[in-house]
Amino acid sequence: MAGLWTARARLAVLGGAVYEAGEFVVRVGELRQVGGAQSAVRAVVACVQRGGEGDGMALAEEDTQKQKEAVRTFWKSFGFESAKEYFYIPTADDDGFGEIRLWCEVLRLRP
């Protein structure tokens, strides 16, 4: 049964930094697969937040679309064409676990 309970590998965001750019806050860090004696870099994670976002306040649907478009426009100004995008913006029907689901999807191990 040891094979079922032995931790093999896990993901961790290491070496992070925070930058403020106008109304946006950008957090970046290396996504590393940690386990055993090795620590392999899997990706770089960037989290972009607009001022007032992420404070638990629910937004109306049109405000949600405006927030997404503002963040997407800001992100595209960096010129990363092949980056995967995941969004979480609190809405009125949010169950409180949206941000957790977002990070589970971002940090999910892929082959």
Using H for helix, E for strand and C for coil, what is the string for 22-76?
CCEEEEEEEEEEEECCEEEEEEEEEEEEECCCCCCCCECHHHHHHHHHHHHHHHH
Side-chain half-sphere CA neighbours of 71 within 13 A? 22
With CA atoms as reference, report the closest residue to 11 among 37, 30, 26, 27. Answer: 30
Could you read off the pLDDT of 63-75 as tens digits, one per residue?
778 888 898 899 8
Q: Does 18 score more than 90 pLDDT?
A: yes
Domain annotation covers residue 111: no
pLDDT at residue 74 in the model: 92
**Residue 8: its pLDDT value, please?**
67
Domain count, the chain: 1
Is there a domain that residue 1 lies in? no
**pLDDT at residue number 17:** 95
Give 107's pLDDT tier (boundaries 50, 70, 90).
confident
Domain assignment present for 18: yes
4 within domain boundaries = no
Its domain, for residue 80, covers: 10-106
Is 3 part of any domain?
no
Judge whether residue 53 has pLDDT over 60: no
Residue 28 in domain: yes
